[in-house]
Every structure is written in structure tokens, then in C-alpha cells.
Amino acid sequence: MVGQSDVHEKTFSPSLDERTDALQQLIIFFGSFSDRQQALEDMLRLCSDEDKTLRVKAINALGTVFPELSDEEKEKGWSSLLELIRTEDPEVWKAVVLSLIFAFDYLPEKSKLWNCLLRLAEDEDRHVREHAVEALILLFPSMSDMEKVWADFIVLAGSEYGEIREPISDAFILIYPYLEDREQVWESLLEPAGSGDNHVQDRAGDIMARIFHQLPDRKKAMKDVENLTMRQMDYVARRALKLLRDDYPELSEAGNPAEELYRLAAKKAPYARWKASGTAGKGQGASGKKRKEEETEK
């Protein structure tokens, strides 16, 4: 068997070939080396190698050795992977996320890594945020507490960053089937459904439409929908709807009062235009009368 000290020295070599050979030896004999701590440190060093190809190979290799690591070594390994999450290189990031996915199943404290990714999802660096969210979406099926996952994603859907809100709300459709309490799902979606982000509103609405028939209190659910509709209308539309309900009962009966209001406005528009032109000022009475007659003939 190759000597561990020779492999260790090669990881510092200026020769790419020697460093590449060192990685191959680490992969083959990792479990056989007497000083596993040293072997892990050597592999982690190569995960940050200046050569991208070697770096990607080392990151991929790190994921494969996780089953052989102690709990302490696993924590060191995934901490190193989290540091690499800051890379802007798509090939390196692909290797990092694949290793994270493979390693995740072997972590004794998955929630610890999960919470680290949640913090990174609000990092000031856009690349870090995007990578953290991508990892969260890929890793969530391995989490045992789906209610926590759902609650975390609901919070992230309210992030100040659009590149966080959109993929997270897209993931709603993947997570909600794991949840049994449909009332709780409905209640948790009311805030995203009323948010100022149209994409988040649509994704929340998609789930609400799917689970509506499963709710025990549909009368309350209908009221929730009406409140959301009113909240999303602008002030003028809400005010008009309130004033016109008595004269136009179809507004109260409409499934979507806002759409019905706009339909009525379009229907009454010709009359409104005639009325405005007929009272435009002195000297235009005859002209206004003529237009009234023309409007009546129509």
C-alpha cells in the first residue's frame, strides 16, 4: 500500500499531476490510512485546489467518503462544503451540491446543517443566497420534520430578495403533500397569498385551490378568499365596490367581485362618456343634444 506520508506531501506539490495522483490515492486508501484525520484534511485541501478540474474531483470524492467518517469528521466535512457554497463557478457549485445531498443522509444532526443553510439564504451575497435556496429545496425530502420545513419555506417566501421568493414559492407544490393538516396549510398560505409579490401569490393560490375541497369549514375559507380579493384590489376599486353593492347586487354574488366591477365599468363607459360630453360647458348644448340622440338611436 502507498505510504500516507508520501500522499500527504503530494497534496502540496506544485505539480498538478502529483496532486491529482494524491487525490486518487486518498480515494482508494482513505479507510486504510492510519491517520484518518490527516487524510480528511488533505482531501479538504484539494477541495480548494487552484485547478478547477481537480477541485471538482476532490469535492465529489468528499461526498463518497462521508459514510466512513466519524460524527466529528462529518461536521468538519460539511462545514467545508458550506464554505464552498460561495463559489460563483457553476461546475464547482454542481459538485458541492451533489456532495451535500450525498452527505446529508449520513449527518447525525441534519437540523444543524439545515439551519446553517437558512441563514445563508439571507446572506448579502446573491450567489450564496441562490445556492443556499437550491440546496434547501434539494435536501428537504431527507428532513424528518416536514412541518418545520414548511414553516421555514413560508418565511423565506416573504424574503426581501426576489431570487429567494420565487424558487421557494415554486417549491410549495413539492412540500404540501407531506403535510396532513390541510387547515394549517391553508392558514399558513393566507399571508403569502396576500403578499405584494405576484409570483408568490400565484403559487400560494395554486395550493389553496387544490386543498379548498378538503377543508372542513368552507364558509370561512370563502370569506378568506373574499378578504384576499379585496386586499389585492387598489383603494379606488375597493371604494367603488363598497358604494355600488346596493345598486348592483351582482357584485355581492360574483365569485370575483373585482372582475365583475371592471366588467360593469366597461359596460357603463359609453353612457359615462356621453354624460361628460353633454355637460362640457356653455355653447355646446346643441352638440350635446345631438350626441344624445345619436346615442339613443344606437
Using CA atoms, how far apart are residues 278 and 67, in angstroms rounded to an integer? 85
| pLDDT surpassing 50 at residue 194 | yes
Over its C-alpha atoms, the chain yields an Rg (Å, rounded) of 31
Percent of the chain residues topping a pLDDT of 90: 56
Residue 195 has a pLDDT of 84
**Listed ranges 29-43, 76-90, 143-157; the one with the highest mean pLDDT:** 143-157
With 0-12 CB in 10 A as exposed, 13-18 as middle and 19+ as buried, what is 221? middle
Long-range contacts of 227-233 (CB under 8 A, 24+ apart): 228/190, 228/193, 228/194, 229/256, 229/257, 229/258, 230/257, 231/194, 232/194, 232/201, 232/258, 233/258
Q: What is the mean pLDDT of residues 232-249?
A: 62
| pLDDT surpassing 70 at residue 50 | yes
| pLDDT surpassing 50 at residue 212 | yes
Whole-angstrom CA distances from 178 to 142, 149, 203 are 12, 10, 17
Residue 287 has a pLDDT of 45
Q: Quick one: pLDDT band at residue 291, thresholds 50, 70, 90?
A: very low
Q: Quick one: pLDDT band at residue 19, thresholds 50, 70, 90?
A: very high
Using CA atoms, how far apart are residues 185 and 212, in angstroms rounded to an integer? 11
Average pLDDT, the chain: 84
DSSP letter at 77?
Answer: H
Out of 88-92, 182-186, 256-260, least confident range: 256-260
Residue 295 has a pLDDT of 47
CA nearest neighbour of 268 among 247, 254, 291, 294: 247
Residue 222 has a pLDDT of 85
Task: Retrieve residue 189's grid coordinates.
Answer: 398560505
Q: Are 178 and 143 in contact (CB under 8 A)?
A: no
Q: Which residue has the higher pLDDT, 275 or 251?
A: 251
Q: Quick one: pLDDT band at residue 264, thresholds 50, 70, 90?
A: low
Q: Which residue has the higher pLDDT, 94 or 294?
A: 94
Residue 285 has a pLDDT of 45
Whole-angstrom CA distances from 64 to 4, 33, 68, 81 are 19, 16, 9, 13
Task: Retrieve residue 140's grid coordinates.
Answer: 428537504
Q: Are 133 and 156 in contact (CB under 8 A)?
A: yes
Determine if residue 281 is left, alpha or beta; phi over 0 gives left, psi from -120 to 50 gives alpha, anything else beta. left
Question: Residues near 289 by Cβ (< 8 Å), separated by ≥ 6?
Answer: 278
Q: Which residue has the higher pLDDT, 253 or 21?
A: 21
DSSP letter at 242?
Answer: H
Out of 118-132, 191-205, 241-255, least confident range: 241-255
| pLDDT surpassing 60 at residue 271 | no
Using CA atoms, how far apart are residues 189 and 181, in angstroms rounded to an integer? 13
Identify residue 37 by its one-letter amino acid code.
Q
Using CA atoms, how far apart are residues 34 and 274, in angstroms rounded to an integer? 94
Residue 198 has a pLDDT of 86
First-to-last alpha carbon distance for the chain, in angstroms, is: 99
With 0-12 CB in 10 A as exposed, 13-18 as middle and 19+ as buried, what is 286? exposed
| pLDDT surpassing 90 at residue 230 | no
pTM reported for the whole predicted model = 0.75
Counting Cα atoms < 13 Å in the Cβ hemisphere of 155 gives 10
Residue 232 has a pLDDT of 65
Q: Quick one: pLDDT band at residue 41, thresholds 50, 70, 90?
A: very high
Whole-angstrom CA distances from 102 to 99, 155, 241 are 5, 26, 55
Task: Retrieve residue 63's grid coordinates.
Answer: 461526498
Task: Retrieve residue 24's grid coordinates.
Answer: 486518487
